Chains A and B, each alone.
Chain A
Amino acid sequence: MTTASLSGAAVVGIGRTPYVRRSGRTALAMAAEAARAALADAGLMSGDVDGCSCYSTGGPASPMQVAHAIGVDDLGWCASVLGGGNAVASVVAGAAAAIVTGQAGVVVVYRVLGSETRYGKALGTIEAPGEAQFAAPHGYLVPPQWFAMWCRRHQAVYGSTAEDLGAIAVQERAHAARNPHAVARQPITIDDYLGGRWVFEPFRVFDCCYEVDGAVALVLTSAERAADLPHPPVFPLAVSDANGCGGSVDQWADMTAMYSRDAAPRLWAKVGLGPADMDLALMYDCFTYTVMATLEDFGFCQKGEVGDFFREGRATYGGDVVVNPHGGLLSEGYIHGLNHHYEAVLQLRGDAGDRQVAGAETALVTAGAGPYGGALVYATAPA
């Protein structure tokens, strides 16, 4: 069996809540809203659903709770993956694999983030187990600190600059201006970026994603069944994860490259396509530097060239590939990367309105940062 069989399944429905700073709602309520919206979009009913999966770092709203909350009485396939952005590609592909192998017929995949989950600070941390016991006592504990550390190494080795990071933030914000669902739509200039306050130097505030409350859900079913549903199906062609170094964000040998150094060549080989074949690149952007390192690793440009890649317009409409037309986690909002899948499907359906990438047929969607992550290629036609 080859990985191409993933496209025996398709994404047929997408749903989401508003993205807001403070919803005042439970994670379960938001996840259920997104799941219902995705089912309605797919033209399916709760009685059609027999599979549900999510990923989380230990948050509330389990797949069985969410399925129950939307009226599913008999859930035959249920998977809850412990992970963050690194897990997205394998969770979506896992749902497709469950369908292709007959374990489930209709699967809802969701991610929800509520106000109780904020990754930028760790003010409640009292005891640090595991590898964190060596780092946390030094006031070094949260993801923006980790990836600022990685970014500094890239700057030292390749001479990448604050202006290069800023070019990414400015472009994504410009894209978000055409996305009514984005939380940050006010355009910024490079001077705005450089004038932004420091958080964890070399990161300024505009290098960090915009944490929000909200949920995204996808509905997948078989390609055969998809043919009878309202929207054109969007097919996952192939997926590749890479998980190195035991997940250690401190011991990774070369922080100028990420998991994508290993995942990218595997993915391109599986799918028989390359960066030049992508119309869209939904690059996981928990931080600007994540975009920088992974664009290099996926072969869109050479090491140290990402700043020019953005400044020369190669990452937007009319360029090489449109990177994060929704504004990404930086500007649309941080739904842990599942909103990248929503945008990919919307674009490949041709339903993205003012920000539609004309004639889009292929999309790379990445997820994760540092030592762990993965990526998936979607297309309008099955493999």
Chain B
Amino acid sequence: MSDLADIPPQPLPDVDTEGFWQATAGGYLAMCRCRSCRQWLQPPLERCRICAAETAFEPVAGTGVIYSFIVVRQAAVPGYLHDLPYVVALVDLDEQPGLRLPGRVVDIDPGDVSVGMRVAAELVALPGGDHVVPVFRAVGVSRGPEGAMTS
């Protein structure tokens, strides 16, 4: 196989998104937020979609709840062709309802992942370049999709 097949897709930042990658490279997770109305915005925008004020990247705790997840069992994306299965989740961050980030859920049996599970982000280097990405790890007590405790 070629070397390229071993390299996962690299983020291609633009001026609206580069703050996210600067933060992760600096060791913390940050999301785009309106300086005026304080709305969090994902994907990032130069101006707030609600009030058109300037935005900036502000640190987030990196904790949240799994909104949904998949178990990837078929090779479909370079960098992951031999690393099967793996779990990708959409995580609703605690800062704002529906503020959501995708990321792998690591160090867990896929059968133990559930919707509503609480997770925390951890920063890891992305092979093939200089970028640092958040991955998620299960923490503490989980909640069901309606917020009911399930375990």
Contact = CB atoms under 8 A, between A and B. Distances in A.
Contacts of A129: 12, 14
B12 A123 contact: no
B112 interface: no
Contacts of B38: none
Given A153-B67, A253-B98, A141 B10 contact: no
Given A126-B7, A153-B67, A139 B73 contact: no
B88 A138 contact: yes
Interface in B68-120: 68-80, 83, 85-86, 88, 90, 98, 100-104, 110, 114-116
Contacts of B74: 197-200
A150 B90 CA distance: 10
B39 interface: no
A248 interface: yes
B35 interface: no
B8 A137 contact: yes
Contacts of B9: 122, 125-128, 132, 136-137, 141
Q: What is the interface of chain A mostly: helix, strand, loop, or mixed?
A: mixed
Contact of B42 (A122, A149, A251): A251
Contacts of A320: none
A59 B98 CA distance: 34
A126 B10 CA distance: 6
Nearest to A146: B70
A229 interface: no
Contacts of B88: 138-140, 145, 149
Given A125-B77, A251-B100, A137 B70 contact: no
B13 interface: yes
Contact of A250 (B78, B102, B131, B144): B102
Contact of A139 (B43, B80, B100): B80
A201 interface: yes
Q: What is the interface of chain B mostly: helix, strand, loop, or mixed?
A: loop
Interface string A337-350: 00000000000000
A150 B13 CA distance: 26
Contacts of A145: 70, 72, 76, 88
B130 interface: no
B52 interface: no
B70 A139 contact: no
B67 A127 contact: no
B22 interface: no
Instruction: Indicate the member of A120, A139, A144, A250 with the most B CB atoms within 10 Å.
Output: A139
Nearest to B145: A156
B76 A137 contact: no
Interface residues of B, number: 50
Contacts of A142: 76-77
A138 B13 CA distance: 16
B68 A139 contact: no
Nearest to A128: B9
A248 to B, nearest CB: 7
B104 A133 contact: no
B25 interface: no
A138 B76 contact: no
B126 A137 contact: yes
Interface in A68-126: 120-126
Contacts of A135: 102
A277 interface: no
Nearest to B104: A138
Contact of B11 (A137, A202, A253, A255): A137
A147 to B, nearest CB: 10
Contacts of B133: 137-138
Interface in A301-319: none
Contacts of B78: 122-126
B145 A153 contact: yes
A207 to B, nearest CB: 12
A338 to B, nearest CB: 25
A200 B68 contact: no
Nearest to A139: B80
A265 B22 CA distance: 44
B116 A137 contact: no
Contacts of A120: 76
Instruction: Indicate the member of B7, B68, B75, B135 with the most A CB atoms within 10 Å.
Output: B68
Contact of A150 (B4, B42, B68): B68
A285 B78 CA distance: 27
A130 interface: yes
Nearest to A152: B68
**Nearest 8 Cβ contacts at the A-B interface:** A133-B11, A139-B80, A136-B9, A201-B71, A156-B115, A198-B73, A153-B68, A127-B12
17 contacts: A120-B76, A123-B77, A123-B78, A125-B78, A127-B10, A129-B12, A134-B102, A136-B77, A138-B135, A140-B88, A198-B71, A198-B73, A199-B73, A200-B71, A200-B74, A201-B110, A251-B42
